[in-house]
Amino acid sequence: MSTSASTEQVSPRTAAVAVAICFGAIVFDGYDLIVFGSAVPALLAYEPWALTPAAVGAIGSYALLGMFVGAIASGMLTDLVGRRKLFIIALTWFSVMMLLAAVAPTPWALGLFRFLAGLGFGGIPPTAIALVMEVAPAARRHMINGLMLCGFPIGGALAALAAIVLLEPAGFRVLFAVGALPLVTLVPLAVLFLPESPGFVRAGRGRRRTEITGLLRGRAAWATGLFVVANFCGFLLVFGLNTWLPQLMRGAGYELGSALAFLLVLNLGAVVGGLAGSAMADRFGSRWVATSLFVLAVASLGLIAVPLPAAVLYLLVFVAGAATTGNQIVVYGYVAAHHPPGNRATALGLSSGIGRLGAVSGPAVGGALLTAGVGLAGNVGVFAAVAVVGAVACALVPRPTGGPADPAAGTAAPPAGPAPAGAPAAG
């Protein structure tokens, strides 16, 4: 589809194509991030590099540090120059970097390429979410956005499956190389068929700049700060668990295959949690759905530390996946619905970008705890405490100024017309 055609309202078919392409990108975004956790046992066992758990945790954090920069920069850029262009650039960039990571000759090079890939990883979610929320039907946009974002845990599940099948016979390099497949699949499709957001095209550049700066004033600044905290907690849980759960379960006495199966169950739970949570957000609002899922994370993580039969532990890990990675999908939708199109991607990039410091912290915290001899109970106790903070942050996000409650956002919508300076509109 040409960019000129995107100046009109997109058809249902074009919207479906856009959602499908964004879904595919999020699948690879999830795969490329979570595959590192699947590769941790092989990295620790790779004798030429002689890596410690702390060193592996540090390398795992480099990609997430890159996401911190990439999310903030791309969020602002896509509100200024467009969703389509930034999406294609970010997708191409992280695919090339994953290919280089697969052939990295040293741990230093692996860390560098993972950091550079993180710039692209961070650019995909705010751009894809903004585009999908703007082409999806208003009554179902949380559900459709949640369906698209479920690509992330699906990518994580595929990473776990790929590790089960390929890690021992082929090694970690093959797992990383799979992450470069968008170069020959999704990038050509995006160039040919991905539309631009009609809302972005209609908004003038001057108005977009005014709305972007409004994020840092008044109630909007308070909301942005709380969304940063919620994202920080959510990302710490997502990446801490996805990086270290297999190793934690091995330390608890499970074989490698069973430990990787826990990672698979965690991400399957995330798919269910993301879809169910998004559907409930369309009906009841994002605020209390996100808050309740954080509370559920506290309970499920606390119980994982208790000696229980394996079947019960699998169930608890499934619930934990729904309440952590699944809830991050709901939080994304919460931020998007809280803001108007003119600064939606910037709000997503800013809150998730700074919040990704939690993603950087998760693998590092887990690695430091393991190095210090802290086992499963201590690790999940720390993660449960983080979930408590996330629940409080979601509950305290202030309502935008004026108007009746917006059931899609869980906040109050402003009156029709341009939003007052510093006051975001519920999407």
pLDDT digits (tens, 9 = 90+) for 22-38: 999 999 998 988 788 88
The count of C-alpha atoms lying within 13 angstroms of the C-alpha of 83, restricted to the half-sphere facing its C-beta, is 33
Give the span between the Cα atoms of 372 and 354, in whole angstroms: 28
Encoded tokens for 235: 């990302």
Question: To 10 degrees, what angle do helices 12-45 and 186-193 make?
Answer: 160
Lowest-confidence pick of 108-117, 208-217, 277-286, 334-343: 208-217
Give the span between the Cα atoms of 94 and 63, in whole angstroms: 10
Angle at 212 between CA 87 and CA 8, to 5 degrees: 55
CATH architecture group of domain 4-412: Up-down Bundle (1.20)
pLDDT digits (tens, 9 = 90+) for 236-271: 998 888 777 777 777 666 666 667 788 888 888 988
Residue type, 300: S
Encoded tokens for 135: 């082409």
Residues 6+ apart with CB under 8 A from 139: 282
Q: Is the pLDDT of residue 146 over 80?
A: yes
Instruction: State residue 203 phi and psi, 5-degree precision.
Output: -75, 135
Calculate mean pLDDT across residues 314-333: 91
Strand (E) or helix (H) holding 193: helix 186-193
